[in-house]
Amino acid sequence: MSELIGLWIAALLTVFILSFLYKDNPFYKFAEHLFVGVAAGYVLALSWHNTIKPNLVEPLFYQGEWILIVPMAFGLLLFTRFIPKMSWLSRWSLAAIVGIYSGLAVVAIAEADFVTQIRATLIPIWDQTKWTQFSNQPSIVHFIHLFTNFITIFGLLTILFYFFFSVEHSGTWGLIAKIGTGLLMVGFGAGYGYTVMTRIALLIDRVVFLLGDVIGLL
């Protein structure tokens, strides 16, 4: 029974949100506000079970790790934002958060997003396995695969050059920068197309849910 009620609640909320495609209406507003409340409550419950309880409450109150009073106090200091005269105290907590995560990020980002990405580009220009693949099965797709490594290496260089402003982008340099711009546009276009298709897939999922699970037409 509760499963059936749940199914109908999900169906109604789905229709309420989709109704915004016609125009803004009270049903959509209800679902929108409900979503905000549920999402915030969800974060609250998850924070409690995954973070606050195992990292603070249990070690502090059941295992006697009294040192944890310090981060608890820092966490509570954030709430001084509600008291204008004392709100400057929240900067202490903010400083701890920003400091710890900045310190971690400086090294982690440099390693994961900088060094790793450059390392992934240091590959041979010519990949013999792709040539063998093309020889065995000649096709347009296998043909373009021959240029994979070449585009990966020189494409990256052209895009990076586009962001390098110490040289005027004219003549040969201008051409290189233009190739970089073109590759960037391909990347943006691919990103756009992929995002639209992901959203469409979600929409199809909702339509299948409404027509299949709820009404039973599919």
Partner 1 sequence: MKREIPLAILLITGLFMIFQYFVPHYAISDIASKIQQWAIIITSGAALLGIANLLRVSLDQAIARKQDWMYKWVVIVSLVVTGVSGIVGGIEPGTFFNDMIYFHMYTPMASTMYATLAFFIASAAFRAFRVRSWQAWLLACTALLVMLGRIPFGKMIWGDFPQFVDWIMNVPNTVAQRAILIGAALGAVATGLKMIFGIERSWLGGGD
131 near partner 1, rule: CB under 8 A: no
Binding test (CB under 8 A) with partner 1, winner from 123, 125, 151, 215: 151
User: Are the C-beta atoms of 118 and 127 separated by less than 8 Å?
Assistant: no
Q: From CA 153, how far away is CA 54, in angstroms rounded?
A: 46
Binding test (CB under 8 A) with partner 1, winner from 25, 29, 125, 174: 29
User: Are the C-beta atoms of 93 and 75 separated by less than 8 Å?
Assistant: yes
**Token digits of residue 35:** 């979503």
49 near partner 1, rule: CB under 8 A: yes
Nearer to partner 1, 62 or 163 (CB): 163
CB of 96 to partner 1, least distance (A): 6
CB of 107 to partner 1, least distance (A): 4
Q: Contact region for partner 1 (CB under 8 A) — 72-80, 125-133, 167-175? A: 72-80
141 near partner 1, rule: CB under 8 A: yes
Nearer to partner 1, 75 or 169 (CB): 75
The H or E element that residue 189 is part of is helix 171-208
Q: From CA 146, how far away is CA 82, in angstroms rounded?
A: 61
The string of DSSP codes covering 76-99 is HHGGGGGSGGGGGGHHHHHHHHHH
Binding test (CB under 8 A) with partner 1, winner from 58, 61, 72, 173: 72
75 near partner 1, rule: CB under 8 A: yes
Nearer to partner 1, 132 or 195 (CB): 195
Q: In this structure, what DSSP letter does residue 123 have?
A: -
Q: Between residue 180 and residue 209, which ones bind partner 1 under the rule CB under 8 A?
A: 180-197, 199-200, 202-203, 205-206, 209
Q: From CA 90, how far away is CA 78, in angstroms rounded?
A: 4
Nearest to 176 by CA among 152, 201, 199, 159: 159
Binding test (CB under 8 A) with partner 1, winner from 9, 125, 167, 218: 9
Residues 78-117: x/- map of binding to partner 1 (CB under 8 A)?
xx-xx-----x--xxxxxxxxxxxxxxxxx-xx--xx--x
Q: From CA 16, how far away is CA 22, in angstroms rounded?
A: 11
CB of 170 to partner 1, least distance (A): 17
Nearer to partner 1, 41 or 132 (CB): 41
Q: From CA 43, how far away is CA 35, in angstroms rounded?
A: 12
Q: From CA 121, how far away is CA 150, in angstroms rounded?
A: 10
